[in-house]
């Protein structure tokens, strides 16, 4: 769906087929073309209304990935679909970024054998295989051709790439998740001199910088220290100066400084039984991967999502959902947001300066209402848009007016627009 600045729908496009279809990311290029990436199960027709292009998964529970490109008038320009070639083989397309030249970059995970050139006759043979679940990053040209595909796989561990971002300076940043699934402890080398110790339910994060030709510039770790269970990447964003921002979740002690220094932070939040549950984090790094700052959200809060950053002076917009009391910041005197109902999730929006200082905090929710997601973006004028889902009745108020919406189904989607955030 495309809307104008007043929220009026300009056009709606859809896919067809059996099973589930879940969008996981959307991006625009400089010409206003729209890229949509996501996952599907069972079957998907990527060309409804333009003919047919059917992709199918094999086996129960297997997933496939898709990428669609529309022009600004809703015409489908091309589509790509990927699925494992075996019965128990899957692809998950998790994130998308577009560079200034209009190339698209899709990140995710796959296992088994996948033809990433599927749907393109001239590119048959772009076949890759993985014995363990492995991360991938694919570059697709403006005409839909696969330019290259890189993978990251490690024996004894699972890996995925849940987030990718493109910098206007001509480079890419990728977040890798490396997780264990068995005992005993496995030592995994992800780069020269960089090792993770993984085991069942553990998770570590690595940051990767590449050029647009796919050459890796560096790989740096965010590592658990001591007995922590996980540090899991969420979303990525960059600004005009090549500074990049990463969100995610962590449990236990984590060293957020991937360089020679140290910035160890201990999570605080616990679940209802007192078991350490984990907090959320937002970090900023310079183009060389040096830590600039880190903030943590303490409490029962979902992973923070970061809006793509357009300019160096615009605020960093962060959203998510929470229950109970949540402290927005590492400092004990940081602002706190409160959900009056501990059972249902509220939505929050926090705006930070490029230096990591909070400049605006808002929340939405209410009794017998629950919100899901909270995916933000910000336009050139600093206007904020947030999408997600909700149940019950919610007042999506702005600073000037009330706007109560009541769910008509089991869960309804929402998209709302907030006024300019000023420091």
356-369 pLDDT per residue, tens: 888 888 888 877 78
Say how far apart CA 423 and CA 359 lie, in whole Å: 6
Q: Domain for residue 291, yes or no?
A: no
Name every residue whose Cβ is closer than 8 Å to that of residue 403 and which is 6 or more positions away in sequence: 395, 396, 397, 416
335 beta partners: none
Per-residue confidence (pLDDT) for residue 286, from 0 to 100:
93
**CA 62 to each of CA 71, 95, 128: distance values in angstroms, whole numbers, following the listed order:** 30, 19, 17
Task: Give me the pLDDT at residue 287, please.
Answer: 92
Predicted confidence at residue 53, as pLDDT, reads 52
Burial classification of residue 239, based on how many CB atoms lie within 10 Å of its CB (0-12 exposed, 13-18 middle, 19 or more buried): buried
Q: E-strand spans in 194-267?
A: 194-198, 203-211, 216-238, 244-255, 264-266
In a domain, 395, yes or no: yes
Would you state the pLDDT for residue 256? Answer: 92
pLDDT of 175: 94
Instruction: Work out the widest C-alpha separation in the chain, in whole angstroms.
Output: 60
Q: Band the pLDDT of 423: cuts 50, 70, 90.
A: very low
Q: Pick from 281, 274, 322, 318: which is nearest to 300 by CA?
A: 322
Average pLDDT over every residue of 234-245:
89
- pLDDT of 56 strictly over 70: no
Cis peptide before 249 (omega within 30 of 0): no
Residue closest to 68 by CA, chosen among 34, 100, 102:
34
Q: Give the per-residue pLDDT at 269.
A: 64
Residue 293 has pLDDT above 50, yes or no: yes
Is 64 part of any domain?
no
How many CB atoms within 10 Å of residue 296? 26
83: tokens are: 């699925």
Residue 50 has pLDDT above 90, yes or no: no
Parallel, antiparallel, or unpaired for β 2-3 and 393-395? Answer: unpaired
- CA 263 to CA 210: how far, in whole Å? 25
Q: CA nearest 84: which of 60, 52, 48, 120?
A: 60
Percent of the chain with pLDDT over 70: 78
Asked if residue 32 belongs to a domain, the reply is no
In a domain, 73, yes or no: no
For the record, the structure tokens of 125 come out as: 């043979």
Residue 159 lies in a domain: no
Domain of residue 364: give its range: 307-423
Q: Is 7 exposed, middle or buried (0-12, 13-18, 19+ CB in 10 A)?
A: exposed
Average pLDDT over residues 98-120: 82
Quote the number of domains for the chain: 1
pLDDT in tens, 76-87: 888 887 876 665
- In a domain, residue 420? The reply is yes
Triad 154, 63, 233: Cα angle to 5°: 50
Tokens of 28: 């625009």
- Better-scored residue on pLDDT, 234 or 52: 234
Q: Are 293 and 265 in contact (CB under 8 A)?
A: no
Q: Backbone phi, then psi, for 95, in 5-degree steps?
A: -155, 155
Note whether residue 373 is domain-resident.
yes
């Amino acid at each position: 769906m495309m809307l104008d600045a007043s929220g009026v729908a300009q056009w709606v496009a859809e896919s067809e087929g059996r099973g589930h279809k879940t969008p996981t990311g959307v991006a625009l290029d400089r010409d206003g073309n729209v890229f949509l990436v996501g996952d599907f199960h069972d079957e998907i027709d990527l060309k409804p209304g333009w003919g047919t292009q059917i992709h199918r998964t094999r086996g129960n529970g297997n997933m496939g990935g898709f990428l669609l490109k529309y022009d600004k008038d809703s015409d489908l320009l091309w589509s790509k679909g990927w699925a494992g070639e075996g019965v128990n083989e899957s692809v998950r397309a998790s994130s998308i970024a577009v560079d200034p030249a209009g190339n698209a970059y899709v990140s995710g995970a796959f296992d088994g054998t996948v033809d990433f050139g599927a749907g393109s006759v001239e590119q048959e043979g772009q076949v890759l295989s993985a014995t363990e679940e492995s991360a991938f990053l694919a570059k697709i040209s403006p005409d839909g051709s696969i330019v290259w595909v890189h993978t990251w796989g490690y024996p004894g561990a699972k890996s995925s790439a849940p987030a990718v971002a493109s910098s206007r300076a001509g480079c890419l940043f990728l977040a890798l998740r490396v997780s264990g699934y068995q005992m005993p402890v496995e030592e995994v080398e992800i780069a020269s001199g960089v090792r993770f110790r993984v085991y069942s339910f553990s998770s570590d994060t690595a940051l990767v910088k590449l050029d647009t030709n796919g050459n890796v510039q560096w790989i740096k770790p965010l590592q658990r220290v001591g007995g922590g269970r996980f540090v899991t990447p969420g979303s990525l964003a960059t600004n005009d100066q090549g500074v990049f921002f990463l969100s995610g979740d962590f449990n236990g002690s984590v060293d957020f400084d991937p360089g020679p220094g140290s910035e160890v932070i201990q999570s605080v939040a616990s679940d209802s039984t007192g078991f350490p549950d984990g907090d959320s984090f937002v970090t900023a790094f310079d183009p060389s991967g040096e830590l600039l700052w880190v903030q943590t959200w303490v409490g029962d809060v979902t992973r923070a999502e970061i809006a793509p950053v357009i300019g160096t002076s615009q605020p960093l917009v962060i959203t998510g959902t929470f229950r109970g009391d949540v402290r927005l910041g590492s400092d004990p005197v940081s602002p706190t947001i409160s959900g009056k109902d501990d059972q249902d999730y509220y939505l929050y929006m926090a705006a930070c300066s490029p230096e990591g200082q909070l400049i605006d905090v808002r929340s939405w929710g209410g009794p017998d209402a629950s919100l899901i997601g909270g995916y933000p973006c910000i336009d050139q004028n600093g206007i904020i848009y947030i999408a997600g889902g909700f149940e019950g009745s919610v007042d999506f108020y702005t600073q000037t007016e009330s706007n109560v919406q009541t769910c008509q189904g089991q869960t309804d989607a929402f998209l709302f627009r907030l006024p300019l955030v000023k420091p």
